[in-house]
Amino acid sequence: MKRTLTVVAMLMAGTAAHADGELHLYNWGNYTSPDLVKKFEEKYKVKVTITDFDSNNTALAKVEAGGSGFDLVVPSAGFVKIYADKGLIQELDLSKLPNHKNIDPAWMNVEWDPGRKWSVPWQWGSTGISVNTKDYGGDINTSAIFMDPPKELVGKINVVPEMGDVLALATMYEGGKICDDDPAVMKKVRDALIAAKPKWMAMDYSTVEKMTKHDYSATVDWNGSTLRQRLAVPEIHYGYPKEGYPLWMDNVVLLKDAPNAENAYLFMDYIMEPENAAMLSAFARYANGIAGSEPFMPDDMKGAPELYPPAEFKDKGHFLTVCTGKALEYQTAIWTELQK
Amino acid sequence: MATLEEEAEVQSRRNAWLLSAPALVVLFAAAAGPLIIVLIYSFLTPATYGNVEWIFSLEGWKGIVFQHDIFSDNLVLADANLVIFWRSVKLSFITTVLTFLVGFPTAWFIATRSPRARALWLFLITIPFWTNLLIRTFAINQIIRNEGVLNTLLLKVGVISEPIRLTYTDTALLIGMVYVYLPLMVLPLFATIDRFDMRLLEAGYDLYANRWQILRRIILPITRPGIIAGSILVFVPCLGAYVTPRILGGGKNMMIGNFIDLQFGQGQNWPLGSALSITLLIIVTIALLAYVRTIGGENRHG
């Protein structure tokens, strides 16, 4: 009996000690540098647990359902506001973030969080098309790849299940703008997407793995993801849709009910250290929003076509905002119809 | 004065309640409680970006069959929902039939072995349960991929000239579900066939029945309870299947389970998701009631 009690006491002590050093990060899948996490764990003796999500809406739904136990979430730009409006995140105590000053001025006074009081930058990039040029030799700088697929690609295309990105691409392809609320345009968008869907193979998040294994010949994709694919399979190239493509930024926010807020601050501050920000970029292959991180970036990212759009497509990128009102209603309705 | 006997009876009744209390608490907390929440949510209004507003509404239930056309605001038949329901029922039914066609001979084979061999065969049937369902489903995907084991082999042998596209098709789903649910068909069938009196077959032959008549008039009627039990065990979980269609369907070919999941995530319509969950529950209940009826009838006729 006594021995049992000792064991129980030891177990309890063990869990208590464990709980001191924990951090739960809820992030996009295949997005967090394991090396960086390991380095952080060793420095602060904190055990980091990462849970994946595959779309902003999924993440928001799970956090909103409550009791998630997560400390940090990495939503895209406009979603930061939604988290704040719903009272899911807390305003940051900047005194605990000495590296806050490292945020690139360009990413400091952002529309979704002026002065960076609620969120710190994770990474940013664009949404375009990844094509295996072994299967298709035509023009890849167009959304027609998935909106009106060439016959070589029919049944071999994937579309990521991210409402904002896909609808932004589709709307601009049909001549509208991001968050268009013109019913005539949105009707065209819906009809075109519904007509295109049978020509797609899947609506799936894991593009790096499936493109490099040649399960897909093309996919709607994010630039860094395509860069990773190209480094594994040289025939894969990134297309910047000339009809217009979205730019985005993902940001780290601190949940209101974060059980390990102190560790969360440590982590946020840690990733704003230029060297560490570069480590994040070196893994996921996106640019980060931290000034002074360039010298630490890997060589194969310097001048990569996925990160630096050619001059002719540079002004075709538009920053993705979260739509409101009628525009959002159209998007949600179209997306639901499309996902069925 | 209460006799000792009465006291003992009271005591044992109290003990019975006490003993079943944990089970009752768990049943309420884990089954009835959440179900009531789901039921309440199905009558509320969806809020923007998920969650619900506490305003009574029947839209969730209407949404199963009808939808608003966003551009004309007309109420139209939600054919996409019905397509998903129909696909689920159809795939579950085909899976049931296929598992039966494969499972019956298997069960018969096992039941007619010597007791020792029988134990070995049954053991082999249960081996897949040792591995997590998710991993087994990924493994299937690995086999049927365009550049997977199956296609590579067929290409090498020269049976086909270009890969058969199975990934993310209904066929892939069927392969996955038949594989996953086959043991659930074999085991109840085995249990019935095991009790089957083989002398009845001899009697049938003695009365000049041919093989077909033996199967139809003797074997099938006697093994009916096993067939029904197996079919229910396969059909019901198939209807609610989530993992298999999620991985083998590629987010495009949904079944009810995935469709419900969608409403709570990207669909942002929790009331509709709740109403769909309850609809699925009702379908399953009807199937189970039909089963109980049939079995009950069986017993009455002795």
pLDDT digits (tens, 9 = 90+) for A270-301: 999 999 999 999 999 999 999 999 999 999 99
The answer to whether residues A150 and A169 belong to one domain is yes
B240 and chain A in contact, CB less than 8 A: no
Are residues A228 and A83 part of one domain?
A: no
**Is residue A201 less than 8 Å (CB to CB) from chain B?**
yes
Cα–Cα distance list, B43 to A174, B68, B275 (Å): 37, 18, 8
Exposed, middle or buried by CB within 10 Å (0-12, 13-18, 19+), for B31? exposed
Asked if A28 contacts A52 with a C-beta cutoff of 8 angstroms, the reply is yes
Alpha carbons A165 and A183: distance in angstroms, whole number: 19
Residues A193 and A325 in one domain: yes
Which residues 41-60 of A are in CB contact (within 8 Å) with B?
55, 57-58, 60
Residue A314 and residue A176 in one domain: yes
Q: CA-CA distances (angstroms) from residue B20 to A28, B11, B34?
A: 44, 14, 20
A213 to B147: CB separation less than 8 angstroms, yes or no = yes
Q: Please count the other Cβ atoms lying within 10 Å of the Cβ belonging to residue B56.
A: 8
Topology adopted by domain B23-300: MetI-like fold (1.10.3720)
Q: Give yes or no: residues A60 and A114 share one domain.
A: yes
- The CATH number assigned to the domain holding A210 equals 3.40.190.10
pLDDT of residue A144: 97
Same domain, A272 and A228: no
Does residue B51 come out as left (phi exceeding 0), alpha (psi in the -120 to 50 range) or beta? left
Phi, psi angle pair for B2, to nearest 5°: -65, 130
3-state secondary structure (DSSP) of residue B219: helix
Question: Token digits for A317?
Answer: 């990128």
Range of the domain at A283: 2-123+248-301
- Give the separation between CA B151 and CA B153, rounded to whole angstroms: 5
* Residue A51: partners with Cβ closer than 8 Å, 6 or more residues away: A24, A25, A26, A27, A70
- Tokens describing residue B9: 């009876």
> Could you tell me if A106 and A242 lie in one domain?
no
pLDDT in tens, B82-98: 888 898 999 999 999 99
Per-residue model confidence (pLDDT) at position B299: 52
Residues A157, A269 within the same domain:
no
d(CA B67, CA A333): 10
User: Where do the domains of chain B lie?
Assistant: 23-300
- Could you tell me the pTM of the whole model? 0.82
**Do A271 and A183 share a domain, yes or no?**
no
The predicted structure's pLDDT at residue A98: 96
Q: In this complex, which of B68, B147, B168 lies closest to A201 when CB atoms are compared?
A: B168
Residue A253 and residue A26 in contact, taking contact as beta carbons nearer than 8 Å: no
| Residue A64 and residue A82 share a domain | yes
Looking at the structure of chain A, the number of domains it has is 2
Task: Give the integer Cα–Cα distance in Å for A308 and A133.
Answer: 20
Main-chain phi, psi angles of A303, to 5 degrees: 75, 15
* pLDDT band of A1, cuts 50, 70, 90: very low
Give B203→chain A minimum CA distance, Å.
56
| Structural contact between residues A316 and A310, judged by C-beta atoms closer than 8 angstroms | no
A306-323 burial, b at 16+ Cβ within 10 Å, e below that, comes to bbebeeebeebbbbbbbb
Residue to mutate among B72, B79, B151, B266, with most A CBs inside 10 A, is B266
Q: Render pLDDT for B13-42 as a digit per residue (tens, 0 to 9).
A: 888 888 989 998 998 888 889 999 999 999
Say if residue A227 is in the same domain as residue A257.
Answer: no
What is the phi/psi pair of residue A108, to 5°?
-90, -55
> Which tens digits make up the pLDDT trace of A147-170?
999 999 999 999 998 889 999 999
Side-chain half-sphere CA neighbours of B148 within 13 A: 17
- A242 and A252 both lie in a single domain: no
Report the interhelical angle of A163-173 vs A183-196 (nearest 10°).
Answer: 110
pLDDT by residue for chain B (302 residues), tens digit each? Answer: 567 888 888 888 888 888 989 998 998 888 889 999 999 999 999 887 777 889 998 888 988 888 777 777 777 777 778 888 898 999 999 999 999 999 999 999 999 999 999 999 999 998 888 889 899 999 998 899 888 889 899 999 988 888 888 888 889 999 999 999 999 999 999 999 999 888 999 999 999 989 999 999 999 999 988 999 999 999 999 998 998 998 898 877 788 998 898 888 777 788 999 999 999 999 888 888 887 787 665 554 43
B153: tokens are 């082999």
CB pair distance less than 8 Å for B147 and A60: no
Q: Looking at chain B, which residue has its C-alpha nearest residue A58?
A: B265
